[in-house]
């Protein structure tokens, strides 16, 4: 089956990291997030071809994937980021056979899910997760027979959400020709949300053409699109892996779960819980928890919490000389 992975967005919510590194190459649990998606697809032998829709900094994604995996990927450039629907439509030239099925996975979302089960269906399947506050998400409304009746993008605060099943970014579509036709319909008719062509509008159009769609409950939905969700996903991965390392840091304390990469120097420090310290980092006299340090980071004399520190960056707290009068307060 052909798998489409759109990775052409700017990742603005993760700036400044995404100004120099594409979002899908940001590190989580010791690997770029895209690694986990591709690794599962290849191990599960699901994909006959994997099509990456690239844009800003796309050549870095290509360089990483071609080195990391023994697989021939297809790359298609989305010249302008005109929305997820537009990105998916860019894959059309690769679909030569009519009525071919396809799987769409967002590049910035990890799933702890059995993909083989998800695609084992006679109908199209949309990955969903039950959420407490559906107003922040696109949701699906279903008929009594379990098929999707309509898609609702972020129900407004006044509107009562028709369901609490949020769309998570995993789509198995039985008939890609119908999908491409519906995408063309929304583009031709300029149906946009905030100026972008949305995939959900095309799915809605597919339903109006009597395409049957059902849902699959994805419990392990790991969003990586914002700093706080990236750190949450980091915690999930480390907790699940819970790998102990042979301690090479006799004067430091390691509180598991953590990831410590290769050639890392740690002295007089407390690392963890939930710290990802990548290759070649130097940490001394510091406390690091619930954070991600990319490769080649230096931390000295600092307490780091809930932080994401980019490749080659340094955090050094200097000793200050102070002459502070009586009854003063100085917060540093
Ligand atoms: P998002 O809207 O969540 O990602 O799209 P973004 O645009 O990169 O991030 P923000 O909102 O600016 O922070 C979900 C997925 O769809 C891809 C993104 O790369 C991401 O993997 N996408 C989105 C495209 O490939 N092209 C687009 O035009 C829009």
| Interval 132-167: pLDDT, tens | 877 778 899 999 999 999 998 776 665 677 788 999
CATH architecture of 2-223: Alpha-Beta Complex (3.90)
| pTM (predicted TM-score) | 0.94
Ligand 1 binding pocket mutation candidate from 84, 171, 186 (most atoms within 8 A of CB) = 84
- Residue by residue, DSSP assigns 122-172 as SSEEEEEEE-S-GGGS-EEEE-TTS-EEEEESS--SSSPPS-SEEEEEEEE
What's residue 137's pLDDT?
81
- Is residue 22 in contact with ligand 1, taking CB distance under 6 Å? no
CATH topology of domain 245-316: UDP N-Acetylglucosamine Acyltransferase; domain 1 (2.160.10)
Q: What is the residue extent of each domain of the chain? A: 2-223, 245-316
User: Where do runs of H (alpha helix) occur along the chain?
Assistant: 17-20, 33-43, 58-68, 84-89, 115-118, 176-188, 199-208, 227-241
Structural contact between residues 104 and 41, judged by C-beta atoms closer than 8 angstroms: no
Structural contact between residues 193 and 86, judged by C-beta atoms closer than 8 angstroms: no
Per-residue CA distances from 109 to 32, 65, 233 (Å):
12, 17, 9
Sign of CA dihedral 219, 220, 221, 227: positive
Please give the mean pLDDT across all residues of the chain: 94
Structural contact between residues 104 and 170, judged by C-beta atoms closer than 8 angstroms: yes
- pLDDT, tens digit (0-9, with 9 covering 90-100), for 220-271: 999 999 999 999 999 999 999 978 877 789 999 999 999 999 999 999 999 9
- Is residue 12 in contact with ligand 1, taking CB distance under 6 Å? yes
Structural contact between residues 238 and 222, judged by C-beta atoms closer than 8 angstroms: no
Ligand 1 binding pocket mutation candidate from 7, 9, 186, 200 (most atoms within 8 A of CB) = 9
Among 36-40, 150-154, 171-175, 312-316, whose mean pLDDT is lowest?
Answer: 150-154
Percent of the chain surpassing pLDDT 90: 85
- Is residue 23 in contact with ligand 1, taking CB distance under 6 Å? yes
pLDDT exceeds cutoff 70 at 127: yes
pLDDT exceeds cutoff 80 at 216: yes
3-state helix, strand, coil in the chain (%, to 5): 25, 30, 45
Average pLDDT rounded to a whole number, residues 91-109: 94
Atom of ligand 1 nearest to the CA of 55: 25
Average pLDDT rounded to a whole number, residues 179-194: 95
What's residue 158's pLDDT?
59
């Amino acid at each position: 089956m052909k798998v489409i992975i759109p990775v052409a967005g700017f990742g603005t919510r993760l700036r400044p990291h995404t100004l120099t590194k594409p979002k899908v190459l940001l590190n989580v649990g010791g690997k770029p997030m895209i690694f986990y998606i591709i690794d599962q697809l290849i191990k599960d032998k699901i994909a006959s071809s994997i099509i990456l829709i690239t844009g800003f900094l796309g050549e870095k994604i290509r360089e990483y994937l071609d080195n990391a995996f023994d697989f021939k990927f297809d790359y298609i450039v989305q010249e302008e980021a005109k929305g997820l629907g537009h990105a998916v439509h860019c894959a059309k030239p690769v679909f030569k056979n009519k009525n071919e099925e396809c799987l769409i996975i967002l590049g910035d979302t990890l799933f702890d899910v059995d993909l083989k089960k998800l695609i084992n269906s006679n109908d199209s399947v949309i990955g969903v997760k039950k959420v407490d506050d559906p107003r922040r998400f696109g949701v699906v409304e279903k008929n009594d027979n379990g098929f999707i009746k309509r898609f609702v993008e972020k129900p407004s605060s006044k509107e009562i959400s028709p369901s609490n099943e949020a769309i998570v970014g995993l789509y198995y579509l039985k008939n890609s020709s119908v999908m491409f036709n519906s995408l063309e319909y929304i583009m031709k008719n300029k149906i946009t949300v905030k100026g972008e062509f949305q995939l959900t509008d095309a799915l809605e159009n597919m339903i109006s053409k009597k395409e049957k769609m059902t849902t699959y409950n994805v419990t392990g939905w790991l969003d990586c699109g914002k700093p706080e969700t990236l750190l949450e996903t980091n915690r999930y991965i480390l907790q699940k892996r819970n790998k102990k390392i042979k301690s090479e840091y006799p004067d430091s304390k390691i509180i598991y779960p953590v990831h410590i990469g290769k050639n890392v120097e740690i002295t007089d420090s407390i690392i963890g819980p939930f710290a990802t310290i990548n290759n070649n980092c130097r940490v001394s006299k510091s406390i690091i928890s619930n954070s991600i340090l990319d490769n080649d980071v230096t931390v000295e004399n600092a307490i780091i919490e809930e932080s994401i520190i980019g490749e080659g960056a340094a955090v050094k707290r200097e000793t200050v000389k102070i002459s502070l009068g009586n009854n003063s307060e100085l917060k540093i």
